[in-house]
Amino acid sequence: MSDTLTTTGTTGTAAAAGAEWSGSAVVTGAAGGIGAEIARALAAAGVPVALLDREPGALRELASELSAAGGTVLAVAADVTDSADVDAAVAKAEAELGPVAYLVNGAGVLHSGPAEEFSDEDWDHTLAVNAGGVFRVSRAVARLMVPRGRGSIVTIASNAALTPRTSMAAYAASKAASAMFTKCLGLELGRHGIRCNVVAPGSTRTSMLTALQGDAAVRASVDGVPDAYRVGIPLGRIAEPAHIADAVLFLLSDRSAHITLQDLTVDGGAALGV
């Protein structure tokens, strides 16, 4: 595990947000895409953020960016499929940034292909990261939150957790597992004042989407693919990472103080409200 700590003084934004935010945040999958955008939004709100990912180079770049903008960040290279790695990373975040009050489970991978041709290795890796990672990181953070009697956890799932997709059986199954785990965790932790919610994005402008077929994947998401039984996006556009970050920050913050065990879909209507 390698890490880089960058700290700054309190910014004007942090002071203004003080009444709403209290404590530090852990964001997994922070090296890019949705995770990076959520980290930017938290840092801009004055929240100290621990950035967790397996990509140390990208983490250092993001940490430098957020530090230059006045944020307080800790970059920790960690593997969410390794319990010892996760426990050490969360302990370091708590020690360096103060009490962890917010967790965003953003780490995820996508292996696609027909189910009958899917390999054991890709299935195991998908479940280990997308579901197992949520379990391991949430467990480590919950152990810190319970004695304090407060906290907010948000898991990034997918609208594929509720709507079947061809060639995405492993991804959809893993996201469904992570969503239900998060809700069960919220049921158990509610008595301790800890809220657990899910944000389910649809097609979002990230490297995960463009890696499928580039611009063609974006067009297919918007227009739909009849042969694959997939409708398009009623709003006529894919999401930007900032759209997902806005939903996550709402559910993390005190503005959603009486909301828990909920699944907020942010997909432009692609799942037709399911």
DSSP code per residue over the chain: --EEEE--PPPHHHHHHTTT--SEEEEESTTSHHHHHHHHHHHHTT--EEEEES-HHHHHHHHHHHHHTT--EEEEE--TT-HHHHHHHHHHHHHHH--EEEEEE-------S-GGG--HHHHHHHHIIIIIHHHHHHHHHHHHHHHHT-EEEEEE--GGGTS--TT-HHHHHHHHHHHHHHHHHHHHHGGGTEEEEEEEE-SBSSHHHHHHHTHHHHHHHHH-BGGGTB---TTSSPBPHHHHHHHHHHHHSGGGTT--S-EEEESTTTTTT-
As a whole number of angstroms, the longest Cα–Cα distance in the chain is: 55
In this structure, what are the phi and psi dihedrals at residue 199, rounded to the nearest 5 degrees? -115, 125
What is the mean pLDDT, run by run of 10 residues, along the chain of 274 residues? 44 44 98 97 98 96 98 98 98 98 98 98 98 98 98 98 96 98 98 98 86 73 93 96 98 98 98 92
- Domains identified in the chain and CATH numbers: 3-266 (3.40.50.720)
> Catalytic annotation on 102?
no
**Tokens 């004007």 sit on residue:** 12
Per-residue model confidence (pLDDT) at position 15? 35
In the structure encoding, which two tokens stand for residue 5, read together? 């700590």
Determine which one of 47, 171, 186, 267 is catalytic.
171
Sole residue written with tokens 């890019």 = 32
pLDDT value for 218: 86
Measure CA 226 to chain center.
Answer: 30
Q: What is the pLDDT of residue 11?
A: 37
What pTM value is reported for the model?
Answer: 0.92
- According to the model, what pLDDT value does residue 2 have? 43
Q: What does the pLDDT read at residue 213?
A: 56
